[in-house]
Amino acid sequence: MNAALLRPTGTDRLLAEIADAVAHQAGYAQPEGFDQVKGWRRAAEAGLCGMRLPERFGGGGCSAVDLVTVATSLGTHLAVLPLLGHVLAGELATLAGATAETLTGLADGTLRLTVGLSADLTGTGEAVAWDAAGADAALVPADGKLVARAVAEPSGRPADLTRTVTPLGPAVDVGDLGGELGDLRRWTALALTLVAADTVGAMAGALGAAVEYSRTRVQFGAPIGSFQALQHLCADAYVSLTAAQALTSHAAEQLDTADPAAALLAARSANALAAEYGRPVAEAAMQVFGGMGITWELPQHAYLRRIALNRRVLGDERYQYTKIAESRLEA
């Protein structure tokens, strides 16, 4: 990952504060999930809700690299903020040529939308709403057009305590969503890259917490980080993290510069590697904490849950590798 994605920013600090205010202060023993809308106003005031939307509608007009930086910070801090679904919905609305009123509402956060996915989460569809906390509706591509579907109330315990997936309801009116959507390959590439960045951030957050703990936890008269077994465990995890970071950075750069086919190929590669390496890195970080690592009180299980759900969104690594092979054979 390039240096720009590693430097702390004002946005990074804001997301850290939102994470602290919503989840960390209550600990992680929250089997029903966290309050996912508490930080929305602060995010909207900071311009995060519309950072990808055109400036003429009140958005920030940010590059994909900027957006990936934010997505990475979301994962690193376990920020309980339904931002990625909203951003991807805004991208769909822009592609469809939605009205200025709709896009302005998305930019300032007063209109809150997300995206609809298929039941198995592998693609867009009319089954579930992803990252749906507080959303007014979910946008779903259907027959080349964009429709809005109601978002049902969540039921049961969430797999990911920091992100909501709910069933979709009937069609609703959220304003004129424009006409034909056209080529969705670049949008798919953006979605895959943002999910990969969120996973990379969660990997970094989990491993960072483990390394910090290994420096302060003393056993047999020495910090546990001095034990070779833990050093090897953390070093292997860091190599995996660095590889996932590098591919995600490359995918981010391709989004705004390469043709749609190349951008999608880079995004699938980044997403596949993040999905493949995410769970082993999170589990390695959990092992550093010993028996404490699997308790509710520490954030390690929340990182693992987030990574596990991200792995399913728009297809796991096997799905992505199959799509990459198909694109190579067609070339």
Q: Over the stretch 37-57, which tens digit does the pLDDT of each residue have? A: 678 888 899 999 999 999 999
Q: Report the alpha-carbon distance of residue 46 to residue 107 in Å, rounded.
A: 11
Q: Is 173 exposed, middle or buried (0-12, 13-18, 19+ CB in 10 A)?
A: exposed
pLDDT at 21: 56
Nearest Cα residue to 192 out of 64, 97, 95, 282: 64
Q: What is the mean pLDDT of residues 174-182?
A: 91
Could you tell me the residue ranges of all domains in the chain? Answer: 3-171, 185-330
Residue 132 has pLDDT above 90, yes or no: yes
Instruction: Report the interhelical angle of 10-22 vs 64-76 (nearest 10°).
Output: 30
Q: For residues 270 and 268, what is the distance between their CA atoms, to the nearest angstrom? A: 5
Is the pLDDT at 68 greater than 60, yes or no?
Answer: yes
Q: Amino acid identity of 322?
A: T
103-113 as b/e: b if 16+ CB within 10 A = bbbbbbbebbb
> Given the DSSP bridges, would you call strands 128-130 and 218-219 parallel, antiparallel or unpaired?
unpaired
For the entire predicted model, the pTM comes to: 0.92
**3-171 and 185-330 agree in CATH topology:** no
Query: Is pLDDT at 238 greater than 90 in this prediction?
Result: yes
| Token pair listed for 22 | 């919503």
Domain 3-171 has CATH 3.20.20.60: no
Cα separation of 84 and 61, whole Å? 16
Residue 286 backbone phi and psi in degrees, to 5: -65, -40
Amino acid type, 325: A
pLDDT of 26 > 50? The answer is no
Name the average pLDDT for the chain: 90
Q: Regarding predicted confidence, which is higher, 83 or 153? A: 83
Distance CA 315, CA 321 (A): 10
The arrangement of secondary structure in 185-330, i.e. its CATH architecture, is Up-down Bundle (1.20)
Going by pLDDT thresholds of 50, 70 and 90, the confidence category of residue 27 is low
**Which of 293, 295, 281 is CA-nearest to residue 31?**
295
Q: Give tens-digit pLDDT for 159-172.
A: 888 888 999 999 99
